[in-house]
Structure 1
Amino acid sequence: MAKILHIWSLSKSFPGQVALQDATFDVEEGEVHALVGQNGSGKSTLIKVLAGFHQPDPGHNVTMRDEVFNIGDAAAAHRAGIRFVHQDLGLVEAVSAVENLALGFGYRTGFGRRINWKKETLKTKQALLDLGFDIDVRVPVAALGGAARTGVAIARALQESEQNISILVLDEPTASLPGADVDRLFNAIRRLKTRGIAVVFVSHHLEEVFEIADRVTVLRDAKVVATVEASELDMSSLIELIVGHKVTAATVNRSIDQTLEPRLRVTDLWGLGMNDVSLEVRPGEVLGVAGLTGSGRDTLIPMLSGAIERLGDVSIDGVTIRAGKPSAAIAAGLAFVPADRLRNGIISMMSVRSNTTIANVARNKTGLRLNHKKERAETRDWISQLSVVTTSSEAPISTLSGGNQQKVMMARSFRLDPKVLLLDEPTQGVDIGAKEEIHSFVDAAAANGSAVVIASTDSGELARLCDRVIVMHRGQIVDTIVRGEGSMAQSIDKVLLAGSSLATN
């Protein structure tokens, strides 16, 4: 296939940090080119330079269709036919797909410069049908499924004639999508390939790389270490390229003392999409929560934490935890890591140190005053333990990659030595190395007697970590899968695939 984009010796430095060093990268017409690497490896920097968000260091050479290309210039990237769909999609969710596309490209007007809504609707409908999405384009985007919202973002990026579009960059497009939505998105990507559009696919989900990619470029420590045909790799060799050494999968070998009283007890839980749920988790036990979007899996953890109003009883070691009282919940021994770290987790204008210690600043007080020296030392210790990539504990957390922000959130919870640890999609958007580090800390929390509850769309993650997994459907627990009773991951997937039949079981 013909090369569209060719980058030689691209570098980008920030004060005190080399974010990308002598990277060579090319994109061929009609291919899906996966870009993978650990958090801080240089992936995001490469994409941001290509998008014109960052200016590269001098000394590079970049061509687009054999002509010199001014990389680092957003207008030049647009003229060259490079389009971007970022992880947050950038949609206005309160308005429809029709309006979202028009906001990106302008409205068609008729007599008296009135907006021709019929033409706008037909245009949007056809753009989404071309991607394989047959949806109601008039409803608010917030009412659409995850794949459909991503489809709207792609359609908006590709509004000009396809002859003008060369490359579409998808940055973590599947980060929060369940399996069925991932399949729909991949079908859309395959349709783009048939139109000759190259797709640069950035992902931490390595199994997806093998399903959709033609070639794979791996970055490690700010350098490109390999560009390989996907067919020439297997999972173990790809992981070794990413982390720089062989990784042996850990196994769980816990023994739960069934004579102990439950540390977490939930009785008759009702609330947003939740219908009379009761469960118990003992000290040292890890309970997984699986289910499709809207099943209750995505609201159970926030409801247990008290972030969502609820009816029913939630208690830790016999002490009832009331909703809407976060300080009381923390005092009772509860720690919570939410799924949406940007909206509900990190405080972006504060430092890494402040984000790490904010849940319990009293630990670092001397008398009535906060001991900043002690606080900084503790934060540096957590940065080391979780391998957080940052220039300093005083750096704004907004300057960290998403995966490193997630590690800071995990440190915030782990430092509380919680009796109950609630984790909602704990490794969403993190690389394979960070994922294993987080898994190890979950194992350690359980070993220290914490009762852990994890909600995840990753059945492999649940199988790796959990002693039991409850499967939810329509706000109820419809099945419980116990470690040792066959393949846990396969059992979870089997129940999820049963879909609508679960309600009658």
Structure 2
Amino acid sequence: MTDQPTRQQPLIDIESLSKSFPGQVALNNVSMQILPGQIHALVGQNGSGKSTLIKILAGYHQPDPGSIVRLHGETVDIATLDPHERAHLHVMHQDLGLVRSLSIMENLALGRGYHTGALGRINWAKEAARVSALLAEFDVRADPRTLVQALAPADQAIIALVRALQDWGDGEWGVLVLDEPTASLPKPEVDRLFAAVRRIAQRGGGVIFVSHRLDEVFDLADHVTVLRDGVVVGSQPLRELDQTRLIELIVGRAIDDLYTAPPEPMSEVAVQTENLAGENLIDLDLTVRRGEVVGVAGLVGSGRDEVAALLFGAKRPVRGEVRVGGRVVRAPREAIIAGMALVPADRKGLGCIPEHTVRENVVLPRLGPFGRFWLRRDAERSEAVRWVVEVDIRPADPERRIITLSGGNQQKAVLARWLRTSPSVLVLDEPTQGVDVGAKASIYELLAKSAEGGTAIIMCSSDAEELAHVCDRVLVLRGGKVATELSGGSLTSDRIVQEILS
């Protein structure tokens, strides 16, 4: 395999790639090229085939016969790459694949080994110098012996980048696949990560950037390929597209308005907090009326990421209290009885039971209507079917295990399980994280409909654009306190970001 491709020769050339599973064609005749120095975005709704393509590139799935993949101009069997070839096609998943309890140096040695001296002993000084030099290239100022868990999220992501690139020698170009790398990063740390990614492209590496955040796609990438139902429906330079046209390519139709405006709030108070405090949250006084949509913004550590759990009683407050309809709430059971519902950020860990069916998840919070002493399965199934249709879960099969659904459809199922309880207060933590643009529009519409029915909605989110369009007002937290409240003409995404970073 040639190590120094010409500028015109693709680093990776995918031609007529298909992948079928029993009863499903996940990818159909997909072709795309990644050139040296190119940041190539790969976008599409959940279930469009992106994950299958990534798993093929990672060697997890074998493509169907007739699929062709060329690395540096040579046809290869993507499922059985030798170690040298595999080092030049690296997939960095959302969870980064780092061992948080090990040091930076130990993480970079995993699968590679250490420099050794006489008698096979590890040359720690030489290894530390090597790792320090790699970190310096990406402006990470940390001791190689620092535990990964002690690093900021952006630094952890950059460590994962460095580990992927450490064996790319001078003139040895490779392709890095980034799968939703910014899902858990606040904006300032996203900027740091993007600077590192641009550095890779400037050196001649190729990058496949997978993201649902279209503003990041336009900010970082220079070319985009759109998958829909396993087929490439567009592949072109991003300068030839605007966001509206890209959304149309992704969902296959025009979306008149991605966001649904909130209805006019009512006068009746639904939920109040007084002097609420947690680990990082110092003081939160909050009053939300029925039908009102209130956003909570702030950096990690500002207290924003604690608000949802404190409101629901899932986390014990240091002081203060939460009242729902005048009733004090101290625990999740009390919150549910009072009419509060929570859609947590950790969808799979806390929001649902992944191995159970859609039906079992949707009906779980309220089983009373199906019988006191035994469940009436026909009534249970009928209720599940009604909500599958109501929130447009796809495929519309209530007996399907929820873990097999796309992220957007999983989130719809989590919403359905709580909306069917007719909550007076709905608390959401990162409600559209990892959700495609089509599912986002559906979720915003469901929330607006719920608010119109009188539900008070509290939305904790790191997505400033989302908060600006969906909420009546937004509280910005800094240092554990409400630094400012934005509403009316001052409620814009730019102003939210400005206040967060002030």
* 1:453 counterpart residue number: 458
TM-score by length of 1: 0.92
Q: What are the equivalent positions in structure 2 for 1:72-151 lying under 5 Å apart?
A: 72-73=79-80, 78-79=85-86, 81-111=88-118, 113-151=120-158
Shift of 1:265: 0.8
- Shift of the 124–406 alpha-carbon distance from structure 1 to 2, 3 Å rule, reads farther
CA contact (8 A) 1:350 1:397 kept: yes
2:228 maps to 1:220:
yes
Is the alpha carbon distance of 1:278 and 1:232 closer, same or farther for their aligned partners in structure 2, counting shifts above 3 Å? same
Say whether 1:5 aligns with 2:9: no
Q: Is the 8 A contact 1:53 1:74 kept in 2?
A: no
Q: What displacement does 1:13 show?
A: 1.9
3-state SS of paired residue (2:399): coil
Post-superposition Cα deviations, 1:150-190, rounded to whole Å, max 9, x if no partner, equal 11111112221335551000000111211111110111011
Letter in 2 for 1:205: R
Distance 2:472 2:140 in 1: 38
Structure-2 change in CA distance of 1:137 and 1:382 (3 Å): farther
> Once the two structures are superposed, what CA deviation does each residue of 1:264-289 show, in whole Å capped at 9, x if it has no partner?
11111122111121111110011100
1:280 aligns with 2:305: no
Q: Does the 8 Å contact 2:262/2:471 carry over to 1?
A: no
- Offset at residue 251 of structure 1 (A): 5.0
Partner of 1:375: 380
Please, which moves more after superposition, 20-29 or 137-146? 137-146
1:321 equivalenced with 2:329 (yes/no) = yes
Q: What residue number does 2:3 align with?
A: none
Superposed CA RMSD in Å reads: 2.0
The amino acid that maps onto 2:398 is S
Distance of 1:404 and 1:253 partners within structure 2: 23
Q: Is the 2:262–2:448 Cα contact (8 Å) retained in structure 1?
A: no
Aligned length: 492
Aligned ranges for residues 24-423 of structure 1 at < 5 Å?
Answer: 24-73=31-80, 78-79=85-86, 81-111=88-118, 113-162=120-169, 163-249=171-257, 250-252=259-261, 254-258=263-267, 260=268, 262-310=269-317, 311-322=319-330, 325-363=331-369, 365-390=370-395, 392-423=397-428
Cα deviation, 1:78-101, whole Å, max 9, x if unaligned, reads 537200100111111222222221
Following superposition, the deviation at residue 110 of structure 1 comes to 3.8
CA distance in 1, matches of 2:111, 2:467: 40
Equivalent position SS for 2:70: strand
3-state secondary structure, aligned to 2:54: helix
CA contact (8 A) 1:71 1:77 kept: no
More divergent stretch after superposition (32-41 vs 67-76): 67-76
Distance 1:106 1:59 in 2: 37
CA, structure 1 residues 124+388, in 2 after alignment: closer, same or farther (shift >3 Å)? farther
When structure 1 is superposed on structure 2, of 484-493 and 421-430 the one drifting more is 484-493
> Which is worse superposed, 42-51 or 95-104?
95-104
Per-residue Cα deviation, 1:455-477 (whole angstroms, up to 9, x for no partner): 11111100111111101011111
Is 2:474–2:491's contact at 8 Å kept on the other side of the alignment? no
Give 4+ residue runs of structure 1 displaced > 6 Å after superposition: none
Structure 1 residues 79, 485: CA separation in 2 closer, same or farther (over 3 Å shift)?
Answer: closer
Matches of 2:132 and 2:448 in 1, distance apart? Answer: 48
Q: Distance in 2 between matches of 1:369 and 1:348?
A: 24
In structure 2, C-alpha distance between the alignment counterparts of 1:103 and 1:446, rounded to whole Å:
50
3-state DSSP of counterpart to 1:411: helix
Relative to structure 1, is the Cα distance of residues 76 and 242 closer, same or farther in structure 2, using a 3 angstrom cutoff?
Answer: farther
Question: 2-side partners of 1:88 and 1:407: how far apart?
Answer: 23
Matches within 5 A, 1:422-441: 422-441=427-446
State the alpha-carbon separation in 2 of the partners of residues 55 and 187 from structure 1: 34
Aligned 8 A contact 1:51 1:73 in 2: no
Quote the Cα distance in structure 2 between the aligned partners of 1:432 and 1:230. 17
Distance 1:116 1:371 in 2: 68
**CA 1:402 to 1:74, structure 2 compared with 1: closer, same or farther past 3 Å?**
farther
SS at 1:359 equivalent:
coil
Amino acid at match of 2:449: A
Could you say what secondary structure the match of 1:9 adopts?
strand
- Residue of structure 1 aligned with 2:486, choices 468, 481, 485: 481
**Residue 42 of structure 1 contacts residue 219 of structure 1 at CA under 8 Å; is this kept in 2?**
yes
Alignment-derived partner of residue 502 in structure 1: none
CA distance in structure 2 between the partners assigned to 1:403 and 1:202 by the alignment: 16
Distance 1:131 1:356, change over 3 A: farther
Partner AA of 2:236 in structure 1: V
Secondary structure of 1:336's partner? Answer: strand
Corresponding residue for 1:503? none
- Asked whether the equivalents of residues 158 and 165 of structure 1 are also in contact (C-alpha less than 8 Å), the reply is no
Contact map agreement 2:44 2:228 (CA 8 A) in 1:
yes
Contact 2:9/2:73 (8 A) holds in 1: no
- 1:264 and 1:316 in contact (8 A); partners too: yes
Question: How many angstroms does 1:393 deviate by?
Answer: 2.7
Letter aligned with residue 82 of structure 1: L
The amino acid that maps onto 2:354 is S
Select between 81-90 and 112-121 the one with higher mean Cα deviation: 112-121
Deviations 1:325-379 (A, max 9, x none): 323321221111111223322323222322333222334x234222333333333
CA distance in 2, matches of 1:382, 1:220: 26
CA contact (8 A) 1:268 1:312 kept: yes
Which moves more between the two structures, 293-302 or 112-121? 112-121
Q: With the length of structure 2 as denominator, give the TM-score of the two structures.
A: 0.93
Q: SS of 1:201's equivalent?
A: strand
What is the distance in 2 between the residues matched to 1:362 and 1:100?
A: 51
2:500 is matched with 496
| In 1, Cα distance between equivalents of 2:300 and 2:466 | 17
**Separation in structure 2 between the aligned mates of residue 362 and residue 73 of structure 1, nearest angstrom:** 54
Following superposition, the deviation at residue 19 of structure 1 comes to 1.5
Q: Higher mean Cα deviation, 86-95 or 179-188?
A: 86-95
- Indicate conservation of the 8 Å contact 1:290/1:456, yes or no: yes
Please give the alpha-carbon distance, in whole angstroms, between the structure 2 residues aligned to 1:392 and 1:403.
15
Report the CA distance between 1:203 and its aligned residue.
Answer: 0.4
Change (3 A) 1:57 1:451: same
Displacement of 1:231 in angstroms is 0.9
Unaligned runs of 5+ in 2: 1-7
Aligned CA distance change for structure 1 residues 380 and 133 (closer, same or farther; 3 Å)? farther
Q: Is the CA contact 1:69–1:76 (under 8 Å) kept in the aligned structure 2?
A: no
**Cα deviation, residue 114, structure 1:** 4.2
Q: Which amino acid counterpart does residue 491 of structure 1 have in structure 2?
A: R
Equivalent residue number for residue 4 of structure 2: none
